């Protein structure tokens, strides 16, 4: 009993709590959810030289950048992660990463994520909208930006993009440009 009183006195003195004899602190619990997510922007004429970049057609690079979004990115849930990352990509402004010499080629397109579902071992990402290209180099830039963002968020899982609900396939949107 004497050890308990000494221990309680020590706890109370360390917590600064003298009125409440039982500490009411919440234990720290590691969480997989965060408001930060990784999206990809394009660095012109980098040719894949920047660390962790992906080489893109026309001699450019898709560069991963961390951004803060309003949607919870969950490192254990590919559906939540894909939704959060794509919504962060959708809401990125044209000049948000200009100071880093990065461009956002999808800014002229109107593309949104409708849903993500798991079918067998594949995550199907349903996107809707219209891709607008200002030149032939925008084709590989936009494709890499979208695909690399989803790939990172898919947490190593296989994914497929359904564009406009059964219209032209994702590949067809880029092959005819």
CB neighbour list of residue 13: distance below 8 Å, 6 or more residues apart: none
Domain enclosing residue 55, as ranges: 33-175
Low-confidence ranges of the chain (pLDDT < 50): 1-31
Does residue 27 lie within any of the structural domains? no
pLDDT tens profile 4-39:
334 334 343 433 444 433 333 333 334 456 678 899
In a domain, 5, yes or no: no
Radius of gyration in angstroms for the set of CA atoms belonging to the chain, rounded to a whole number:
23
The full DSSP string for the chain is -HHHHHHHHHHHHHHT-SS-SS--PPPP---SEEEEEEEEEEETT-TT-STT-EEEGGGEEEEEEEEEEEEEEETT-HHHHHHHHHHHHHT--TTTTGGGT-B-GGGGSEEEEEEEEEETTEEEEEEEEE---SSTTHHHHHHHHHHHHHHHHTTT-EEEEEETTTSS-HHHHHHT-
Q: What is the pLDDT of residue 34?
A: 65
The pLDDT of residue 171? 78
For residue 84, tell me if it sits in a domain: yes
Number of structural domains in the chain: 1
pTM, rounded to two decimals: 0.77
């Amino acid at each position: 009993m004497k050890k308990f009183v000494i221990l309680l006195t020590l706890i109370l003195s360390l917590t600064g709590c003298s009125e409440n004899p039982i500490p009411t602190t919440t234990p720290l619990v590691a969480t997989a959810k965060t408001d930060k997510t990784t999206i990809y922007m394009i660095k012109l004429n980098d040719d894949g030289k920047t660390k962790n970049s992906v080489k893109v057609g026309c001699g450019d690079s898709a560069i991963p950048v961390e951004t803060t979004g309003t949607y919870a990115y969950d490192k254990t849930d590919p559906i939540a992660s894909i939704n959060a990352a794509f919504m962060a990509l959708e809401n990125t402004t044209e000049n948000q990463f200009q100071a880093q010499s990065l461009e956002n080629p999808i800014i002229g397109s109107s593309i949104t994520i409708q849903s993500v579902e798991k079918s067998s071992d594949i995550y199907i990402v349903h996107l809707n909208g219209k891709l607008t290209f200002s030149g032939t180099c925008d084709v590989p830039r936009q494709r890499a930006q979208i695909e690399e963002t989803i790939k990172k968020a898919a947490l190593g899982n296989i994914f497929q993009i359904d564009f406009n609900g059964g219209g032209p396939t994702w590949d067809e949107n880029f092959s005819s440009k």
